[in-house]
């Protein structure tokens, strides 16, 4: 024993490992890819497929608790680890709900929060029924495995050939993530997008960060601005829903809940991630206790820390070749630079991020 096991070796696992090390705790990262960014900074590593029985057995024996930084961990991997006696947080229910957009929407509505209207789709006929119910424009997504907007197709308002649109959506989803489009959502004309990074400790204590506004480009998060310029009522409602989700899921760890804010200030839940979240990276520099430390605290059974924000912040992802601007960023005062140590800056790949800090309550710059 002695370490926190982390399934997944990307930048989130890397930042979790750094946060653990700062608290005197060790992480043992389990990931299939040899050059995983988290391997540079963890105390122990296993390079193996998620379904390799002997590797899972050794991993379970070597760690005190297991968490994950990637929500597409096969459910069987988590089941196997639980059978081997590992304590896994967040638990199997949260993972199963988050992995399936249909279950996720049913869950959110069942706890009294709202989502976009939706309809399960598996062929042209069900797509037609869904469009009648929801109207246009609408958006087709896969139930599973989507990230960074991949596998999604907008069905525009004007009436094109639906058969062609369906074939195109299937081809795109298959090429991008190897899955089928299977849920139709109403296209929300939102005022802005926000998220709540929340945490629940092993004893049921809850900590919630102030919601940032999130801007996407090509389906990928580009900028998070903390705090979002929304009313106190809207922020409270998003926090209240997040807290309810945490307790209903009997959750331990950090969650990232994404919301659409409507023009009247009401919020719809878009989706949630059962892990630390890109829109919470600003907490590394603008809060005494970051989302990564908060997650490690929860999983290690520590009390949660104070989520208060000491500064306002604007976080920008460095995507693909943008990471080449690191020298310029490094020269700029009040930019906090984070680079993930990935060697291949291919287009769309998250290579690092920078956070600009400002005194609390500073006016926004014109572009923000």
**Residues of each annotated binding site for ATP:** 101, 141, 146-152, 185-188, 193, 216, 270-271
| Nearer to ligand ATP among residue 27 and residue 153 (C-beta) | 153
Under rule CB under 6 A, which residues in 123-142 are in contact with ligand ATP? 139
**Candidate residues 5, 9, 146, 253; the one interacting with ligand ATP per rule CB under 6 A:** 146
The C-alpha atoms of residue 253 and residue 19 are separated, in whole angstroms, by 14
Choose the one of ligand ATP, Mg ion, none that binds residue 345, judging by a C-beta under 5 to 8 angstroms depending on kind.
Answer: none
Residue 67 · residue 301 · CB < 8 Å = no
Residue 149 binds ligand ATP, judged by CB under 6 A:
yes
Using H for helix, E for strand and C for coil, what is the string for 140-173? Answer: EEECCCCCCCCCCEEECCCCCCHHHHHHHHHHHH
Query: What is the Cα–Cα distance from 216 to 185, expressed in whole angstroms?
Result: 18
Ramachandran angles phi, psi of 247, nearest 5°:
-75, -40
Give, as ranges, the residues between 214 and 233 that touch ligand ATP (CB under 6 A): 216, 219
* Segment contacting Mg ion by CB under 5 A, of 8-16, 246-254, 270-278, 346-354: 270-278
Say whether residue 116 binds ligand ATP (CB under 6 A).
Answer: yes
188 lies in the binding site for ligand ATP (CB under 6 A): yes
Stretch that binds ligand ATP, among 42-50, 143-151, 202-210, 351-359 (CB under 6 A): 143-151
Stretch that binds ligand ATP, among 23-31, 33-41, 145-153, 307-315 (CB under 6 A): 145-153
**Residues forming the annotated binding site?**
101, 141, 146-152, 185-188, 193, 216, 270-271
The smaller minimum CB distance to Mg ion, of residues 258 and 285, is found at 258
CA distances from 94 to 68, 88, 298 (A): 12, 11, 15
List strand residue ranges (DSSP E) for the chain, in order: 3-7, 26-31, 44-47, 63-68, 118-120, 138-142, 153-155, 181-186, 192-200, 206-208, 213-217, 220-226, 253-261, 267-273, 311-319, 335-339, 350-359
270 binds ligand ATP (CB under 6 A): yes
**Residue with token string 């608790």:** 65
Instruction: Give the nearer residue to ligand ATP in terms of CB position, either 216 or 360.
Output: 216
Residue 17 contacts residue 80 (beta carbons within 8 Å): no
Give Cβ neighbours of residue 99 (< 8 Å, ≥ 6 apart).
Answer: 71, 72, 75, 144
Closer Cβ to Mg ion, 210 or 271, answer by number: 271
Residue 351 found at the interface with ligand ATP (CB under 6 A):
no
Nearer residue to Mg ion within complex by CB, 52 or 100: 100
Specify whether the CB–CB gap between 170 and 197 falls below 8 A: no
Which residues are at the interface with ligand ATP (CB under 6 A)?
116, 139, 146-150, 185, 187-188, 193, 216, 219, 258, 270-271
Which residues are at the interface with Mg ion (CB under 5 A)?
258, 271
């Amino acid at each position: 024993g002695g370490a926190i096991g982390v399934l997944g070796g990307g930048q989130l696992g890397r930042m979790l490992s750094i946060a653990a090390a700062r608290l005197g705790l060790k992480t043992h990262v389990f990931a299939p890819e040899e050059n995983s960014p988290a391997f540079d900074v963890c105390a122990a590593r296993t390079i193996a497929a998620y379904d390799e029985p002997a590797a899972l057995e050794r991993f379970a024996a070597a760690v005190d608790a297991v968490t994950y930084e990637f929500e597409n961990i096969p459910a069987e991997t988590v089941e196997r680890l639980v059978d081997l006696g590992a304590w896994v947080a967040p638990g199997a229910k949260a993972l199963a709900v988050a992995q399936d957009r249909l279950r996720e929407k049913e869950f959110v509505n069942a706890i009294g929060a709202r989502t976009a209207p939706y309809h399960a789709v598996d062929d042209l006929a069900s797509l037609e029924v869904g469009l009648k119910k929801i109207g246009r424009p609408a958006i087709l997504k896969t139930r599973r495995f989507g990230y960074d907007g991949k596998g999604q197709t907008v069905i525009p308002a004007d009436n094109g050939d639906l058969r062609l649109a369906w074939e195109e959506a299937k081809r795109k989803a298959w090429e991008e993530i190897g899955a089928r489009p299977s849920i139709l959502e109403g296209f929300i004309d939102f005022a802005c997008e926000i998220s709540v990074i929340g945490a629940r400790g092993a004893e049921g204590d809850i900590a919630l960060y102030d919601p940032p506004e999130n801007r996407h480009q090509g389906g990928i998060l580009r900028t998070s601005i903390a705090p979002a310029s929304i009313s106190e009522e809207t922020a409270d409602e998003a926090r209240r829903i997040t807290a309810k989700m945490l307790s209903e899921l009997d959750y331990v760890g950090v969650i990232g809940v994404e919301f659409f804010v409507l023009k009247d200030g009401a919020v719809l839940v878009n989706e949630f991630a059962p892990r630390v979240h890109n829109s919470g990276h600003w907490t590394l520099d603008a809060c005494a206790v970051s989302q990564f430390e908060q997650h490690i605290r929860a999983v290690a059974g520590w009390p949660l820390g104070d989520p208060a924000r000491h500064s306002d912040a604007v976080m920008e992802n460095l995507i693909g070749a943008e990471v080449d601007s690191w020298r310029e960023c490094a020269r700029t005062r009040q930019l906090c630079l984070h680079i993930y140590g990935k060697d291949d800056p291919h287009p769309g790949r998250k290579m690092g991020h920078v956070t600009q800090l400002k005194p609390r309550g500073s006016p926004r710059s014109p572009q923000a």
